[in-house]
Amino acid sequence: MELNLPFDPVERAAESERLVLKEGKRLYYRFRSAPYYGGIATADAIGCSFLCAYCWNYNRNLNPQRFDKFYSAQEVSSKLLKIARKRFFHLFRITGSEPVLGESSFNHLLKVITHIFQEKPRSIFILETNGFILGYRKDFIKRLKFPNLWIRISLKGKDEDSFQNISGAKKEYFLYPIKALKELQEQGIKAWPAVMKDLFTEEEIGCLKKLLSEYSIKSELELEYLERYPFVLQNIDKRNIQLKE
């Protein structure tokens, strides 16, 4: 994919969706059990509206056209359910990508979630998202009313400049993920923000918390920590981002 920084994430989401969705099937490259959250059935997908400096799936998200394994929602949920039954897991997620790029990816996601809850009603699906399209297309949010759907929105910056530098997306889109959080909260859907702690000082984290409180976001800010793969450190360096610890 041609990509100059900063890019328009609306256009990038649409272009990514065009590449990673085919007749309702989405590109995935792995299905696995993962240790996070105490054990979770995980599908690794491809395609994102952002291109974060610290993304551990950077090259796949930059060049999705190199991959060709498309899976239907039924195939994805069946694979995840098989892993969960084998490992006695109750948690499910899709990661490595942005699940919501537009209408087609959103419909695919809803089918995966619906099938999992039909088969295992007491399970929890954790939607890991950058929150951009959910803030841009707030009409999607009312379709996310599942009792056991939890939504974790990974915020990329504390302000417009850090957002642009870290996510690669134009700074004017900074507030959309925060708007998504606010709307989710207003709709009574469990959602919380997360941020990559290694990229911010305590003071900067304090600024972000203050901004969230100005938007009346009540849920706690989760701090995540960087997987320091050599290519991740190189990408961070290329954008002149200093690690804070």
Could you give the CA distance from residue 40 to residue 91 in angstroms, rounded to a whole number? 5
Binding string, residues 5-44; x marks residues near ligand SF4 by CB under 6 A = ----------------------------------------
Of 46, 52, 84, 208, the one binding ligand SF4 (CB under 6 A) is 52
**Taking CB under 6 A as the rule, does residue 55 contact ligand SF4?**
yes
**Taking CB under 6 A as the rule, does residue 48 contact ligand SF4?**
yes
Binding string, residues 95-134; x marks residues near ligand SF4 by CB under 6 A = --xx-------------------------------x----
Residue with tokens 């792995």: 30
Report residue 31 as tokens: 């299905």
The string over 88-126, giving b where at least 16 C-beta atoms fall within 10 Å of a residue's C-beta and e elsewhere, is: ebebbbbbbbbbbbbebbbebbbbbbebbbeebeebbbb
Could you give the CA distance from residue 2 to residue 148 in angstroms, rounded to a whole number? 38
Burial class (CB within 10 angstroms; exposed 0-12, middle 13-18, buried 19+) of 18: middle
Stretch that binds ligand SF4, among 5-13, 46-54, 101-109, 229-237 (CB under 6 A): 46-54
Decide: 60 and 28 in contact? Cβ < 8 Å: no
Rounded to the nearest whole angstrom, what is the least distance from the CB of residue 61 to ligand SF4 in the complex? 5
Stretch that binds ligand SF4, among 51-59, 84-92, 104-112, 179-187 (CB under 6 A): 51-59
- Residue 55: phi and psi, rounded to 5, are -65, 125
Give Rg (Cα) of the chain: 17
Of 13, 27, 43, 51, the one binding ligand SF4 (CB under 6 A) is 51
Residue with tokens 């949010």: 141
Residue closer to ligand SF4 (CB basis): 48 or 124: 48
Report residue 40 as tokens: 């979770």
Rounded to the nearest whole angstrom, what is the least distance from the CB of residue 119 to ligand SF4 in the complex? 27
Stretch that binds ligand SF4, among 16-24, 26-34, 55-63, 171-179 (CB under 6 A): 55-63
**Taking CB under 6 A as the rule, does residue 77 contact ligand SF4?**
no
**Binding interface with ligand SF4 (CB under 6 A):** 48, 50-52, 55, 57, 61, 97-98, 130
